[in-house]
Structure 1
């Protein structure tokens, strides 16, 4: 069933590692909400059905929205769509925004029933290095207050591989989450993305590049510790207690359609993919003129094959042999030829007609999927 994504492109400050689209200028926040409402109206027929199963506020920092702004958006969504009675409604937020009062009001006065909290670490040293707006005290308090407010369906983000994150600190970060009973974790290896402050620091020698050996070791520990605590490793970066998978993100990985609204938001309807301009001022200017500023591409057979391999092999659901065969030639033979060596070395396994990464293959996920891609050598 389709999902709805809303990009809220504002942050209090720029984290050194982040390459998502956002602005630290909040002056146009109210104007942006008006534009989102208009885009929802203009895109009401984009999805193949009118019922939606998940709503996800991402960013940026959606927790910067006031309650009145959030509810204006919800009123429009519920007027345009039939929202499932058990819909998963997620709001991303940062600990410094999610005060006791804000959490209580979100729970009592909005449809939000799931939080995605950008903890990243419980170490002040880590957060100072990342240029996060909160500290360890905020992070601990936010978890306590979220649970006390009744948000038992929540996930937290954690980052490993940072030069300030020792193995001991990484273990502590995980066990704080385990002990708190957090049902879902999204754990990401630090990456140095072009255009970020971190990229420039590394380029100028002001920061050390990511130590791949440290990141690999901490990923191995993550897999062991999460399994011991009862979490299922259902996607390369995502771990959940049984039955607590992210329904919204799972729909992405399983190729279901979704609508994205807001600057830089992507949409997919099963045939084509489109993305809005990643510029707040240009987005607002176009929306004032009643035009959605986006680009679209109709997916070729090669793109559909490559996307299926890339997303499915990273998950617990794996690559279905019948689905691979349904792409026909030259794609099925490309997959078969590429996966044979991986089966022999034990980084991929085939069981009941489904190819899945083994434990040793998960750390090589990007390399393995790249080997299975179809590339037109004639171009």
Structure 2
């Protein structure tokens, strides 16, 4: 098994663009931590046939990832308690990557020092922007000063740090976006994840746009920002290893790379997803029902057995988004000639437009096609 993802479903306040599962009420936080620890224990037998298990029969865990929500709302004691639950129920490799997603307002100097003394060895910090007006538009809980201060301190105690930046924000000029990137680079951060501002249906951002209070993001602006991002980071020795992720050598996210490479993982906590190679399961996205189920010794999840078409479509999507691309040999071996023939026919128009290329029998997007990756992938999908 590759890794364990732990979803912490709490946030201090709701960002306008976010549609992930979380609650702004902390009333059930302690109860939730205990329930998550119980789920970790209960599910240790799930991968009993996993060939990566140790001689003792426990599963080999390579990464532990605290996502959310905002995992940094947990105390250091609660984080350490959950890490200990993993270690006591699974066999963990030496020096696993253990990531904590954190917001700048939670990362005081005292807190950073506490975390540096724990098993957490990678921070993923939700900066999003270094400009006050952007942060207010997105309803972030931190301000620009906190964003820069936490990075000044965190880089003294952590070598492996990633930060998130959002582009395509209404009113953000190319020059302003360049300043955001340059500010991030000034801290010597080895990994940057960057996403276009996306308007999801049931979010505050969508309502603000519909009522005319905020302008809608423009695709052409996002595309310009993306081009600036790629050019600037690659000029600073970052490797563009996944559509939204850039890392210096030896600083790729091991947790996320495992997802893109199709490795098995377990998702713990409300709304968390798991994958075992043949099926995908997901926990209920409701804190109260999750807690009730765990207390009744029931796993609050649903499972879907993936069809050959499902697995092919996922491979196309994840492969095209990464530097590893889509192996035509793997498509033939794993899915058969019918799928390979279909892919070869569907991809021809993108080859003609120089949006993709085939090199060493591996299909990849070109620089010209990179921003259009998801759309290209969807055109290569096969219907069930």
TM-score over 0.5 for the pair: yes
Q: Is the 8 A contact 1:46 1:259 kept in 2?
A: no
Deviates more, 1:47-56 or 1:310-319: 47-56
Unaligned runs of 5+ in 2: 54-58
Partner-residue secondary structure (3-state), 1:20: coil
- Structure 1 residue corresponding to 2:85, chosen from 71, 76, 93: 76
Instruction: Tell me by how many angstroms 1:62 deviates.
Output: 0.5
**CA separation of 1:329/1:203 partners in 2, compared to 1, >3 Å: closer, same or farther?**
farther
Deviates more, 1:205-214 or 1:111-120: 205-214
Matches within 5 A, 1:10-89: 10-47=10-47, 48=50, 49=53, 50-89=59-98
Instruction: Tell me by how many angstroms 1:205 deviates.
Output: 2.4
Instruction: Tell me by how many angstroms 1:75 deviates.
Output: 1.4
- Structure 1 residue corresponding to 2:151, chosen from 140, 143, 149: 143
- Structure 2 residue corresponding to 1:218, chosen from 218, 225, 232: 225
CA distance in structure 2 between the aligned counterparts of 1:282 and 1:240, rounded to whole angstroms? 38
Partner-residue secondary structure (3-state), 1:310: helix
- Structure 2 residue corresponding to 1:369, chosen from 353, 356, 377: 377
RMSD of aligned residue pairs (Cα, Å): 1.0
Query: Which residue pairs with 1:349 in the alignment?
Result: 357
- Describe the superposition over 1:3-50 as per-residue Cα deviations: whole angstroms up to 9, x where unpaired: 100000000000000011100000100000010011011110223231
The reply to whether residue 282 of structure 1 matches residue 289 of structure 2 is yes
Q: Hey, which bits of structure 1, 4+ residues long, moved more than 6 A? A: none
The reply to whether residue 324 of structure 1 matches residue 348 of structure 2 is no
Instruction: Tell me by how many angstroms 1:213 deviates.
Output: 1.1
Matches within 5 A, 1:241-252: 241-252=248-259
Q: Is the 8 A contact 1:114 1:154 kept in 2?
A: yes
Partner-residue secondary structure (3-state), 1:313: helix
- Describe the superposition over 1:242-270 as per-residue Cα deviations: whole angstroms up to 9, x where unpaired: 12100000000000000000000000000
Deviates more, 1:190-199 or 1:206-215: 206-215
Partner-residue secondary structure (3-state), 2:368: helix
Instruction: Tell me by how many angstroms 1:329 deviates.
Output: 4.5
CA distance in structure 1 between the aligned counterparts of 2:46 and 2:345, rounded to whole angstroms? 38
Partner-residue secondary structure (3-state), 1:360: coil
Instruction: Tell me by how many angstroms 1:204 deviates.
Output: 2.4
CA distance in structure 1 between the aligned counterparts of 2:151 and 2:344, rounded to whole angstroms? 46
Deviates more, 1:326-335 or 1:262-271: 326-335
- Describe the superposition over 1:263-293 as per-residue Cα deviations: whole angstroms up to 9, x where unpaired: 0000000010000000111111111111111
Unaligned runs of 5+ in 1: none
Q: Is the 8 A contact 1:35 1:284 kept in 2?
A: yes
Partner-residue secondary structure (3-state), 2:23: coil
Matches within 5 A, 1:154-233: 154-233=161-240
Query: Which residue pairs with 1:3 in the alignment?
Result: 3
CA distance in structure 1 between the aligned counterparts of 2:5 and 2:372, rounded to whole angstroms? 30
The reply to whether residue 263 of structure 1 matches residue 276 of structure 2 is no
Instruction: Tell me by how many angstroms 1:362 deviates.
Output: 0.5
CA distance in structure 1 between the aligned counterparts of 2:171 and 2:350, rounded to whole angstroms? 34
Partner-residue secondary structure (3-state), 2:45: coil
Query: Which residue pairs with 1:111 in the alignment?
Result: 119
Q: Is the 8 A contact 1:192 1:199 kept in 2?
A: yes
- Describe the superposition over 1:195-229 as per-residue Cα deviations: whole angstroms up to 9, x where unpaired: 11111122222221111111111001111111111
